[in-house]
Structure 1
Amino acid sequence: MPQSHAQLPVLKKRAEFLKAAQAKRVPAGSFLLQARKRPEGEADGVRVGFTCSKKVGNAVARNRAKRRLREIARLILPELGRDGWDYVLIGRREQTDTRNFEALQDDLRRALRKAHA
Structure 2
Amino acid sequence: MPGFVLLVRDRGDADATMRIGITVSKKVGNAVTRNRMKRRFRALAREILPQSGIHGADHVLIGRPGGVERDWSALQADLARALNKVRR
Q: Which TM-score band (shorter chain)?
A: over 0.9
TM-score (norm 1): 0.71
TM-score (norm 2): 0.94
Alignment-derived partner of residue 71 in structure 1: 43
In the alignment of these two chains, the number of paired residues is 88
RMSD of aligned C-alpha atoms? 1.2
Map 1:20-99 → 2, pairs under 5 A: 29-41=2-14, 43-93=15-65, 95-99=66-70
SS at match of 2:32: helix
Q: Which runs of 4+ in 1 moved over 2 A?
A: none
Deviations 1:67-97 (A, max 9, x none): 111111000000101210110001111x211
Q: One-letter code of the match for 1:100? A: D
Of all paired residues, the percent bearing the same amino acid is: 51
Deviation at 1:44, TM superposition (A): 3.3
Q: Looking at both structures, which has the greater relative contact order when contacts are Cα pairs under 8 Å and sequence separation is at least 6? A: 2
Q: Structure 1: how far apart are the matches of 2:68 and 2:46?
A: 17
1:102 aligns with 2:73: yes
